[in-house]
Structure 1
Amino acid sequence: MPLIAPPLSLYVHMPWCVKKCPYCDFNSHGVRGAPPYAQYVDTLLADLDADLRDFGSALQDRPIISVFFGGGTPSLFTPELIGRFLDGARSRLRFIDHCEVTLETNPGTVEHGRFDGYLAAGVNRISFGIQSFDDAKLKRLGRIHSSQEAEAAVKSAQDAGLGNINLDLMYALPEQALPGALDDVDRAVALRPTHISHYQLTLEPNTVFAAHPPPLPDDDAAWAMQEACETRLAAAGYTQYEVSAYAQPDRRCEHNLNYWRFGDYLGIGAGAHGKISDAASGEIWRRWKTRHPNAYLEAAGQPARIGGHSAVPVDELPFEYMLNALRLIHGVPLDDFAARTGVPMACIASPLEASRQKGWLENDPHCLRTTPLGQRFLNDVIGGFLA
């Protein structure tokens, strides 16, 4: 089957935050002085223009299905600046009707009344980095907000008319026990967000926590937290549709779904990554931008803005696809593999059968889906598709 161009999203990276959290390995930089926010938005649009020229026909007539402002802390940017970028992007690209536009938000950086402005600018989904409702745990994580500020920020966004809200929560925090993890879930549910992202704290390389590890719950305790919290979320009406994502009916995150279904996305901003499929050539391209904000600003849409650009080797495509698709609880159509990679099904017949024999994948001729056992050993399942 030839490669078929999948849906296209737009990721926009905002690299500054008030201060770097000790667990964070994202491309984020603590604010020093007054960052050039307005100049950065102009540079984003120049970056977008250059990518549109570079990818040319591979993007022709392909609408944007979702936009995601990630960071860093995008809510450090005023609604006016967010609106300036969205207006510029809409003048260059066609957005689908009711396009999902998400803004990541730190509860400690939101000014009262600003949510009205974000909504007017075109943002229709807010993602709050809550992490915990335990003030002691928040301090240990280096967060700048309190649990009270988190609750007030969520309610402020709801009062402003933003009806699609995600809360990020972590579990297996330093010295956390099961009751604490469940209390975080209960307090999140009480706010009635439409979506909850619930994921385990892990020690990532090149972070403060990796260099000075805090005392974390062991694997068995972390698994017990995950299972108990899953049950509590399900009882509250949140359906798990991905390893760490739970949503009310019809409120799944379309942007992240496009990632997990091996869709395409333009990556704009310092350190942003993108993936573009060229149906004509049959190639899938990865592109990432230079990481440091100053270097990115200096490049201002010129070739120096590109940190790297390469085609994904054909023998790596099965692993890349499975790394995303197998995270989805209900799986993906089996035919999507060939359509979105251009790789024949015969190339994965052996690892597919091996995973089914081990009870890791459902024996379904039409759907690629992990079993509950496969979800428990997901890294092993995905590893079976390495070149």
Structure 2
Amino acid sequence: MLPLSLYIHFPWCIKKCPYCDFNSHAVKSVIPETEYVNKLLEDLAKDIERYAISRPISSIFMGGGTPSLFSPDAINQLLRGIEKQLVLTDDIEITLEANPGSFESNKFIEFRAVGINRLSIGVQSFNDALLANLGRVHSGSEAIKAAEIAQLAGFTNVNLDLMYAVPGATLNTSTDDIMMALSLAPTHLSFYQMTLEPNTYFYRFPPPLPADDLVYVIQKHCQSLLAEHQYQQYEISAYSLIDRQCRHNVNYWQFGDYLGIGAGAHGKLSQGLPHNIVRTVKPKSPAHYLATDFKTADASVIAQADVPLEFVMNHLRLRHGFSLSAYQAATGLTVESLMPALSACVHENLLVKQANRYYCSDKGWDFLDNILEKFMP
């Protein structure tokens, strides 16, 4: 059976960042913690019943929004409720996204005590001027302190999020960010380019961004620094020390299954291959989510003709690509369903074939969209 993960969405933030297109809402009063946790557990119970879930959960990811705005007591109540409904693997990875502000970082010890074993801290930059340009509410010194507090709290698995090509960024500021992050010795780094996403303030009122040529130089230079310090790029924007990849996200990219609960959460469940691979989505508005009874499901079956593209689109984000046996196991389709697109990509040096495994060449890594176009039905 395919691995099964659980994603939990927390839709509230202290403020909405101008570049953010995630389902997040600025807190206007008190977060309804107890009501929301109870609703999450109700949501989970309905999914377990509706989709006859019996597989163990190998990872839990609490994202947002800002999950660390919730109290450790609320997170404890949620985890204990999940344990009553699902079997968790002995080595389960449980990630909580957190911001570096003192309000959140002061809770890290308690988060560790209730069962969180991986933190993902949204640093974005250590440069105060760049943080101001991004509309962040923390300072560079708070980001440094948060990473240090996480280690003192006993977290041995910590991710730091960094952005490049942000308004006002230069090669020097990006290099400084990488070197500061390396000095804090996280096990994992997310290093990704800021893009102007629809439905964001920056999309409506675009800030001046670094030129494309400079962005490329920044990307390559910082990637080389990460490689020199033993951080392996295993995904387009993810770098880790050996055996410290984010297991939860790797499951996504390997076309694994995951339950999604919470306002706006998405899920993907293989009910039958290849004809019944289901995508689920929950009500996006926090108010609407809290009011729903989950008697009906917002779900859709992936058209069989779209399955090859969906599989490839995920797997080729990973450096090691995919094997033909993994494709057959995850989709229930024959190898022939990938042809002739697969052969064309190898012929054009976009993909490399090694035994029965396919992965992006350096050229293909830079032009992934060109690869995916070939797999469109």
What TM-score, normalized by structure 2, do the two folds share?
Answer: 0.97
Matches within 5 A, 1:1-387: 5-56=1-52, 59-60=53-54, 62-108=55-101, 110-111=103-104, 113-279=106-272, 282-303=275-296, 306=297, 308-387=298-377
Post-superposition offset of 1:370: 0.6
Count residues with an aligned counterpart: 377
Structure 1: distance between partners of 2:90 and 2:252: 20
RMSD of equivalent CA atoms: 1.3
1:177 Cα deviation after fit: 1.5
**Equivalent position SS for 1:127:** strand
Aligned residue type for 2:108: F
In structure 2, relative to structure 1, the CA distance for the partners of 1:200 and 1:112 (3 Å cut) is closer
Amino acid corresponding to residue 339 of structure 1 in structure 2: A
Q: Which amino acid in structure 2 is aligned with residue 333 of structure 1? A: S
- Separation in structure 2 between the aligned mates of residue 80 and residue 234 of structure 1, nearest angstrom: 39
**CA distances 1:306-357 after superposition (whole Å, capped 9, x unpaired):** 4x31100001111111111001012222211121112221111100011011
AA aligned to 1:152 is K
Deviation at 1:113, TM superposition (A): 4.1
| More off after superposition, 144-153 vs 273-282 | 273-282
| Runs of 5+ unmatched residues, structure 2 | none
Q: Are 1:13 and 1:72, in contact at CA under 8 Å, matched by a contact in 2?
A: yes
C-alpha deviation, 1:17, in angstroms:
0.3
| Distance in 2 between residues matched to 1:85 and 1:109, nearest whole Å | 23
CA contact (8 A) 1:12 1:269 kept: yes
Distance 2:272 2:102 in 1: 42
Q: Which has the higher contact order (CA 8 A, sep 6+)?
A: 1
Q: Is the 8 A contact 2:352 2:361 kept in 1?
A: yes
Q: Given the two structures, how large is their TM-score scaled by the length of structure 1?
A: 0.95
CA contact (8 A) 1:155 1:191 kept: yes
Distance (whole Å) between structure 2 residues aligned to residue 214 and residue 69 of structure 1: 30
Distance 2:39 2:295 in 1: 10
